[in-house]
């Protein structure tokens, strides 16, 4: 209904809009957004998207990023900020209105019903998809605005595939954000990308995005938007605003929103939090936050369209975690002496294994093995032996754990709570909701065996509850379990060559493959 009403209205810019032009600085754009949000009419998303896209294009496209002479930050921003005139914006706005309304016959649609509204949305989507261009993809970091869409040239592109919701991270497994018009404005602002080059961002765009997010935050429009809260927290961590809440409070709000409104199906609040804690030198808390992120991603199946979150986890696993361990080694080394931290490392990789389970596209490959081997090797055998693993018993326990999360207050990341958490993990380093079987899962990747290798170096044995899982395990994998107590895996095999097990007494090499199911397994420390 709202779509139809918007299409039926006059799309020409009125005097109340034109009075905001020309915009010469960040504050002018912020006031323009404020006026749109406070107007009696709904914000004009097309107009706002064209304005932000116009500014982003001018500040990032072929911009000279050489060394600038010293000057105050405010002076530099005012000097570099483009002048936004009304003429180009109004022309693009009219072009978009004509393109959409000229391709639709509203009289043939019954927009008073849900089915009619869905048909209208589909037809608008058809118009957009049919006019997308190949050149539209050339500058992928900045293609999210209507400005990029309207100024592209080239041939028509094909429409995408149907949306798969089941266990799809891209569509949040059916837990998408329920948007108001103001939430849609927040999404538009969050999509601003200040990247000029891989190593350079536009300070003007960063400032614009930060101030617009605070505007939306003050009006309560980010309360149920974890991604935007995390985005604002990261900006505050890099460029603090005097008198505003600290970044950790914003990350806590983001995590709380994910747990309260979306059954803890949002990954980015935890990755944002982990990155902030890592940069702040709070290494144990950072590792825990990344493990919490992996606990969320285990709820999804990996697909090729998930490349952005894949890159996020790959950076954490192959760059940040090794750096974290290196920093701890050169410092007091307390992280490497904490069984709880080793348990968080296992939980992190277990989440990635569960993400791959049931996916048509593999997640883990041999490129993940070397960093993992180096990281695990830093933990002493006594520390690895002190971490006990308890598997979840099924979906009911997972749902119970989620419902508990909904009732919890926003997580605190204060130093006092961090100290209490660290002390508790030292006393009882038990990881709940972690299935040891997933450490063996998908044996063709070899990576899961690395976790067993780390444990084999210390005395332990695995006890399988025969009343629960005998029909799911082959004799070969059972022999593999028992062999873990006596044999150490061959490191060369884990990195791509040789046999899987090296034996002390000339015993036959044990190898096994199996179809994995998540069932109960107990890991017992042997004294």
Structure-block tokens of residue 425: 């993990």
> How many residues are listed for the chain in this entry?
527
Find all residues with CB under 8 Å of 526, minimum gap 6, and list them.
459, 460, 461, 485
Token look-up 């975690």 returns 321
Which regions of the chain are under pLDDT 50? 1, 4, 7-9, 65-71, 75, 134-136, 138, 153-160, 393-398, 400-401, 404-474, 477-478, 480-481, 483-487, 504-527
The DSSP annotation for 410-454 comes to PPP--HHHHHHHHHHHHH--EESS--THHHHSSGGGSHHHHHHHH
pLDDT in tens, 200-221: 999 999 999 999 999 999 999 9
pLDDT in tens, 233-283: 999 999 999 999 999 999 999 999 999 999 999 999 999 999 999 999 999
Structure-block tokens of residue 465: 């509850």
The C-alpha atoms of residue 142 and residue 148 are separated, in whole angstroms, by 7
pLDDT of residue 210: 98
The C-alpha atoms of residue 415 and residue 47 are separated, in whole angstroms, by 45
Rounded to two decimals, what is the model's pTM?
0.74
- Which helix (H) or strand (E) element contains residue 502? strand 501-502
Q: At what angle do helices 268-279 and 283-297 cross, to 10 degrees?
A: 170
The DSSP annotation for 193-212 comes to --EEETTEE-HHHHHHHHHH
- How many CA atoms are closer than 13 Å to the CA of 24, on its beta-carbon side? 5
The C-alpha atoms of residue 515 and residue 75 are separated, in whole angstroms, by 63
């Amino acid at each position: 209904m709202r779509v139809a009403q918007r299409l039926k209205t006059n799309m020409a810019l009125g005097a109340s809009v034109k009075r905001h032009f020309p915009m010469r600085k960040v504050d002018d754009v912020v006031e323009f957004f404020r006026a749109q949000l406070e107007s009696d009419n709904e914000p004009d998303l097309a107009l706002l998207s064209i304005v932000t896209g116009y500014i982003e294009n001018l500040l990032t496209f072929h911009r000279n990023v050489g060394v600038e002479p010293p000057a105050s930050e405010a002076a530099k921003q005012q000097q570099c900020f483009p002048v936004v005139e009304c003429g180009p914006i109004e022309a693009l706005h009219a072009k978009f209105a004509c393109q959409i309304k000229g391709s639709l016959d509203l009289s043939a649609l019954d927009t008073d019903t849900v089915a009619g509204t869905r048909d209208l949305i589909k037809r608008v989507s058809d118009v957009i998809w049919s006019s997308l261009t190949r050149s539209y993809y050339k500058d992928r970091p900045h293609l999210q605005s209507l400005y990029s869409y309207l100024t592209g040239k080239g041939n028509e592109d094909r429409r995408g595939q149907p949306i798969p919701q089941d266990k799809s991270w891209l569509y949040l497994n059916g837990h998408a954000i329920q948007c108001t018009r103001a939430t849609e404005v927040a999404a538009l602002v969050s999509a601003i990308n200040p990247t000029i080059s891989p190593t350079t961002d536009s300070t003007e765009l960063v400032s614009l995005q930060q101030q617009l997010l605070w505007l939306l935050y003050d009006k309560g429009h980010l309360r149920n938007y974890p991604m935007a809260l995390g985005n604002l927290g990261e900006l505050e961590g890099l460029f603090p605003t005097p008198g505003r809440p600290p970044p950790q409070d914003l990350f806590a709000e983001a995590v709380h929103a994910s747990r309260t409104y979306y059954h803890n199906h949002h990954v980015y609040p935890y990755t944002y939090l982990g990155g902030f804690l890592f940069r702040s030198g709070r290494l144990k808390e950072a590792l825990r936050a990344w493990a919490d992120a992996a606990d969320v991603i285990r709820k999804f199946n990996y697909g090729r369209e998930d490349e952005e979150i894949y890159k996020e986890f790959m950076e954490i696993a192959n760059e940040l975690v090794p750096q974290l361990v290196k920093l701890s080694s050169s410092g007091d080394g307390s992280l490497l002496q904490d069984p709880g931290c080793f348990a968080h490392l296992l939980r992190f990789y277990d989440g990635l294994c569960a993400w791959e389970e049931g996916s048509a596209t593999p997640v883990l490959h041999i490129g993940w093995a070397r960093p993992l081997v180096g990281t695990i090797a830093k933990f002493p055998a006594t520390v690895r032996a002190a971490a006990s693993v308890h598997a979840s018993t099924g979906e009911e326990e997972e749902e119970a754990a989620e419902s508990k999360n909904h009732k919890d207050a926003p997580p605190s990341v204060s130093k006092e709570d961090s100290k209490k958490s660290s002390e508790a993990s030292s006393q009882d380093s038990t990881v709940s909701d972690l299935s040891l079987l997933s450490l063996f899962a998908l044996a063709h990747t070899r990576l899961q065996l690395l976790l067993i290798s780390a444990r084999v170096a210390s005395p332990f044995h695995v006890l399988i509850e025969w009343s629960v899982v005998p029909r799911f395990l082959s004799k070969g994998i059972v022999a593999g379990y028992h062999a873990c107590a006596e044999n150490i895996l061959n490191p060369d095999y884990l990195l791509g060559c040789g046999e899987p097990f090296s034996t002390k007494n000339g015993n036959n090499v044990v190898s096994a493959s199996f179809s994995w199911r998540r069932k109960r397994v107990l890991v017992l420390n042997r004294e």
